[in-house]
Amino acid sequence: METESAICADSLTKIYRSGGADVVVFKNLSLRVSRDERLAIIGESGVGKSTLLHLLGGLDRPTSGSIQFDGRDIVSMNDQDLASFRNRQVAFVWQNPSLLADFTALENVMMPLLVRGQRPETAARYAEDRLREVGLKARALHRAGELSGGEQQRVALARALAAGPSVLLADEPTGSLDYKTGDMIAGLLRDLHSAHNLTSVFVTHNLSFASRCDRILELKNGALHPVSNAELQNARVIQDATRPGGTYV
């Protein structure tokens, strides 16, 4: 494994069985993500972007191929070791924050720490620090169901980072937000990436968000293709023209 790469995926193949037939999502796909890199993966709906993210995070297993984090092959791990790896090393952020509506923001952020076995007092202190970092210390004791969509996504970010991960995987983190709130979340993701020395992989349809990342790859026809700034700019012009009120960010 190359020393500068935090994630190395080699010859990934994912095949589903559906309606008596095999559905090949991708075959022999390889990817390197450098340490501290912010990588955006774009592509049309249904091409397998979320599937790839699930594989990288150990939420699903490939039909074949290997995925290494700092030299550790997560594909060969048993379920218990893989669950421990996810809890300690990987942060997940989704389009839907999936918070527990009847629990407070603080309690939601504490959850991964409690799962790890930390004492409630310690978990609460770490959770308070993360909520302060996303600007929600004053909302710590409000139930998640009482928060706005943008506030809920910020709680989800705080929860994702509570356990001190090294890798952040985000699937459409601005997808359900209005463009101004989405722009704020995009900026917050950038700041948190730097503050926590993360390696980040974002799946997004948001081309303005993608353009802020260090590198952009498009998943198309089962393969990853580099996207140039000129190609992205042309696509953003079309996006601007087809979305009232400007680019969705």
The full set of domain ranges for the chain reads 5-242
Distance separating alpha carbons of residues 208 and 106, to the nearest angstrom: 31
CATH of domain 5-242: 3.40.50.300
pTM of the model: 0.89
Confidence of residue 5 (pLDDT cuts 50, 70, 90): confident
243 Rama class: left (phi>0) / alpha (psi -120 to 50) / beta: beta
Do 62 and 160 form a contact (C-beta atoms < 8 A)? no
d(CA 152, CA 142): 11
Please give the share of the chain, as a percent, with pLDDT higher than 70.
Answer: 90
Using CB atoms within 10 Å of the CB of residue 87, give its burial: 0 to 12 exposed, 13 to 18 middle, 19+ buried.
middle
pLDDT of amino acid 245: 37
Half-sphere exposure of 83 (CA within 13 A, CB side): 6
- The span from the CA of 40 to the CA of 112, in Å, is 26
Q: What is the DSSP string of 7-36?
A: EEEEEEEEEEEETTEEEEEEEEEEEEEETT
B/e letters for 175-192, b = 16+ CB within 10 Å, e = fewer, are bbbebebbbbbbebbeeb
- Which residue type is seen at 130? R
Q: Which band of pLDDT confidence, cut at 50, 70 and 90, is reported for residue 235?
A: low
- Indicate whether 224 pLDDT > 50: yes
Both tokens assigned to 76? 């060969």
Q: How far apart are CA 87 and CA 162, in angstroms?
A: 10
Q: Angle CA(135)–CA(188)–CA(176) in degrees, nearest 5?
A: 95
Q: What is the pLDDT of residues 146-204, one digit of tens each?
A: 999 999 999 999 999 998 999 999 999 998 888 899 999 999 999 999 999 999 999 99
Task: Work out the number of other CB atoms within 10 angstroms of the CB of residue 11.
Answer: 12
Query: What does the pLDDT look like over 38-76, one tens digit per residue?
Result: 999 999 999 999 999 999 999 999 999 999 998 899 999
Tens of pLDDT, residues 15-38? 998 888 999 999 999 999 999 999
What DSSP string describes 203-230? E-S-HHHHHTSSEEEEEETTEEEE--HH
> Which residue, 122, 182, 196, is CA-closest to 154?
182
**180 touches 102 (CB < 8 A):** no
Residues 6 or more apart from 160 whose CB is under 8 A from it?
A: 91, 92, 93, 168
Give the largest Cα separation in the chain, rounded: 54
